[in-house]
Structure 1
Amino acid sequence: MLSRAVRGPLSGIATALAFAGALMAAGAAYAAGGQYLGVASCAGSTCHGRAEGNGAVVRQDEIATWQEPSSASGAHSRAYAVLSSLRGRQIAATLGIEATSSGECLQCHATPAPAAARGPRFQLSDGVGCEGCHGPAERWLATHYTVGGNHASNLAAGLVPLENPQVRARQCLDCHFAGSEPGQFVTHRVMAAGHPRLSFELDLFSALQQHHDVDADYVRRKGDLSSVRLWAVGQAEAVRREMAVFRDPARNSQGLYPEFFFFDCHSCHRAITDGPQRRLTFETNPGRPIRFGTPPFNDENIIMLSVAARTLAPAQAAKFDEATAAFHRSMGQGRAEVAAAAQRLEAAAGALSDALSQRGYGGNDAFRVVAAIADRTTAPRFTDYAGSAQAVMAIDTLLNAMVREGRITVGAAAGIRASVNRAYGAVESPESYNPAGFRSALGQAARSIEALQ
């Protein structure tokens, strides 16, 4: 079920699909080595622990934002606590584990620091703390506030360069899809026990978790991050990671069965009736050349990356779409064919990630992407809940980007919010999802945005 954020200019952005906000978590450390010093090491009133964001260089209230109990911005700090909630206890009991001590949970619900690398102020109960995203602080903690220090020296000391969209996406994907460490993969078994389905969209997640201001000083030191770039590169890195994990023999099956996590949940989890009058819930999808009745791969990010390629990297679009079609077709051929097709699709996504990361952004890029998401080429592919929810997240986060970047006014955006909210309403829950109704609502929202260009 999609919920709507109500924080400042982000009103209307979905916090996450069934994530309830509290399950958002970051990935493993970027730099090897160094101790994890804990959130308390960053929380001084002369550092990031002020009650108000009135610092001269940075806001200095970043800890307060990270701890915010009522919004998505505090989700990382709540990640450990939800393990002891009713839902967390039920999941753990079903799996036969103790959630607050099991690596199967802690790799993503706390900063993933090895026991030997935990400093005296490090606490698992902090959830996903500063170092969960920025890397172990022992080597860069002092350099990043020293007079005369600079961003380059911080990076040399091991600070994760999150201003690089590819690095940021890979860091987030370790937990928001799957990482290399044991426990960084929410399998179908874990979801069957009650864990929410995962969904990933880099620009949306970045907006919800942003604790800093992108002011002139930030741009001078780290560059200006385009929302369209974050969205597009995030989609490319998501597909790249999906294919890498999917073709891993250790993770793509559960005994005799395939790992169902990779497939579209709602292609199977639909009402089943037995009677003389059939009720088809399957729609033919032009992006999936598969036989009727075949469980489809969850291609929500693949659909969005196809849009990004067509609008932002057209020279590579045909190759990516060909690799996508071949991947879907391979599902009806065999394991060897699937692995080879997944490798080709991974390579195509990687090439797109590089191209999308390196190109310049501006002009009408966001408008073009929004139009393409709802056009006659893409809209027929919205036959399932997951892909449709990904599309409305893209429309909304790019609309907010247009406001932040001065492409449209706050008043104009507010005037078309009802159209966007109708698209949200069409994916309010999997049970009520209607493909034709969603496509109509999405098209209306896209046309409303296009009219502002």
Structure 2
Amino acid sequence: MPRGRRQTGATGAERAEAVLGERARVDALWQAGVPVVALFLLVFAVIAHPSPALSTAFAAPASPEAGATGVASCAGSTCHGREEPTGAVVRLDELKIWQDESSPAGAHSRAWRVLGEPRARAIAARLGIGDPQSAAVCTGCHVGAGAARPSEGVGCEGCHGNAANWLASHYAVGGSHANNVARGMRALDQPAVRAAICLDCHYGSDKSGQFAEHRIMAAGHPRLSFELDLFSTLEKHWNEDADYAQRKRAPSAATLWVVGQAMALDRALGLFANDRLANRGMFPELYFFDCQSCHRRISDEPSYRPSSPTNPGRDTPIGTVPFQDENMIMLAAAARVGAPDLASRFVADSIAFHKAITVSRPAALAAAARLRSDARALADRLSGIGTREVFAMIAALSDTVTAPRFTDYEGSVQAVMAVDTLLSSLSDAGAVSRADVARIRPSIDRAYAATHDPNAYNPLAFRTALRTATNAIGGLR
């Protein structure tokens, strides 16, 4: 059975079997210690506290945001609050998954509670912002829009949109998804829409409390990294079965990946162009730049050799802090396969942007605008990639063009996640079997292990591990 697609009315055991590929991917990340997943869990997970019962978790609502109805409006046993997935159209146990204390799928429900933990309180103390559970700089993301009370964390409406105008229509006989969207429901089946919502907190936005600037990172907040398909998998509480495909779009993992990369780059460049966010006095806002270019070992010993390998994707002099280009690297590899006519322009504009940062802010903004246009064009062009292209994209991620660009930790983390996501897409399409995936899993795990510790990251070791994994997948064609 394809990843995440199963018949309605299945038991919990059958659901577990249906998402085996997804959970294997998440488990591999966790076991390898890949920080991007650890970050997701550290930001939201508070496993130590038991989940409050529905009757107490959603009682006595405060003044909700205009148009919001709160999680309680979704919690009835005839709606999304059942114990088992017995619905004829949708599961109907979505709230149980959202509250799951044993799984990353329950992370959004724990988003506010984590702010009461010692780590969050220590971060708040360093920032001097008072109680993190009420500080706007924290609750902007740790309390979702539409929450009736902060303890709901990121509830239904935080992602699906305030429901007052579509709550009744979305369960009405004869209703349609298009009608619900017209009434204000967010079209999360569209990759670009989903990415935009996720990126608000998993990268940042210009909204209040939704930009994790460098000072927040310096205070101890985990580094933010984003991959749309992986994060969708972590929070999955829906079935993409035949009925789902009749009502909505069911984009492949590969489509989610490539659109997510384009949208992440578009968001980064858009925020960089915002003068309010991009400058901190005489300093630029360092959040936009490559962490390891500064956070690396230094020494005054005569025998010390700095670790600053040449990166062919950047036209920047040594000693310059480069813009974080993990999404540029991924998109360039994808474009060479799926949009070769756009690829050369995208690569040229990427290099020009890096160079412009060393010239002046006006030059950088002009270059950023061109690169944003390229990213959007690639999102449109690559949104329907097929099996043959997916195999080629996996190969491109470790070939002689892309591999030399893995000089920094963040891009390497994106690359190994990409290989795993694209392999998952091939499994979904029936192009590779689960037995094949199981045989290849150890080589992918070794690539994950090469990104286990950012302080011990070795570009050459990573490239070797990644190439071994991509070669193994290529052998399945």
TM-score > 0.5 by shorter chain: yes
CA deviation vs aligned residue, 1:324-376 (integer Å, no higher than 9, x gap): 0000111221122111111111121122222233xx33232221111111111
The residue number in structure 1 matching 2:48 is none
The residue number in structure 1 matching 2:135 is 102
Shift of residue 90 of structure 1?
0.6
CA deviation vs aligned residue, 1:108-128 (integer Å, no higher than 9, x gap): 111134xxxx6xxx1211111
Q: Is residue 270 of structure 2 the alignment partner of residue 244 of structure 1?
A: yes
The residue number in structure 1 matching 2:144 is 111
The residue number in structure 1 matching 2:80 is 48
Shift of residue 269 of structure 1?
0.7
Q: Which residue of the other structure, out of 425, 433, 439, is the alignment partner of 2:457?
A: 433
Decide whether the 8 Å contact of 1:12 with 1:421 is kept in 2: no
User: 2:70 is matched by which residue type in structure 1?
Assistant: G
Q: Is residue 437 of structure 2 the alignment partner of residue 405 of structure 1?
A: no
More helix by percentage: 2
**3-state SS, counterpart of residue 387 of structure 2:** coil
CA deviation vs aligned residue, 1:386-433 (integer Å, no higher than 9, x gap): 000000011111112222221111111001110000000000010111
Shift of residue 66 of structure 1?
1.1
CA deviation vs aligned residue, 1:48-76 (integer Å, no higher than 9, x gap): 11111121111111111111112221111
Q: Which residue of the other structure, out of 90, 108, 120, is the alignment partner of 1:76?
A: 108
Shift of residue 199 of structure 1?
0.5
More displaced stretch, 72-81 vs 182-191? 72-81
The residue number in structure 2 matching 1:382 is 406
Aligned mates of 1:303, 1:70 — CA distance in 2: 35
Shift of residue 319 of structure 1?
1.1
Task: Provide the aligned C-alpha RMSD in A.
Answer: 1.7
Q: Which residue of the other structure, out of 122, 130, 143, is the alignment partner of 1:90?
A: 122
The residue number in structure 2 matching 1:219 is 245
Q: Which residue of the other structure, out of 389, 393, 396, is the alignment partner of 2:420?
A: 396
Decide whether the 8 Å contact of 1:22 with 1:78 is kept in 2: no
Structure 1 alignment gaps of length 5 or more: 1-5, 26-32
Q: What are the within-5 Å matches in structure 2 for residues 52-451 of structure 1?
A: 52-97=84-129, 98-113=131-146, 122-357=148-383, 360-451=384-475
User: 1:141 is matched by which residue type in structure 2?
Assistant: L
Decide whether the 8 Å contact of 2:325 with 2:411 is kept in 1: yes
Aligned mates of 1:93, 1:258 — CA distance in 2: 24
CA deviation vs aligned residue, 1:72-97 (integer Å, no higher than 9, x gap): 21111111111111111011111111
The residue number in structure 2 matching 1:29 is none
Structure 2 alignment gaps of length 5 or more: 1-16, 31-35, 46-64
**3-state SS, counterpart of residue 88 of structure 1:** helix
Decide whether the 8 Å contact of 2:387 with 2:426 is kept in 1: no
Change (3 A) 1:271 1:361: closer
Q: When the two structures are aligned, how many residues end up with a matched partner?
A: 432
Decide whether the 8 Å contact of 2:397 with 2:403 is kept in 1: yes
Decide whether the 8 Å contact of 2:137 with 2:209 is kept in 1: yes
Aligned mates of 1:9, 1:348 — CA distance in 2: 33
Aligned mates of 1:194, 1:8 — CA distance in 2: 34
User: 1:8 is matched by which residue type in structure 2?
Assistant: L
Aligned mates of 1:370, 1:166 — CA distance in 2: 22
Q: Is residue 20 of structure 2 the alignment partner of residue 8 of structure 1?
A: yes
Q: Percent identity?
A: 50
Decide whether the 8 Å contact of 1:18 with 1:197 is kept in 2: no
Decide whether the 8 Å contact of 1:17 with 1:198 is kept in 2: no
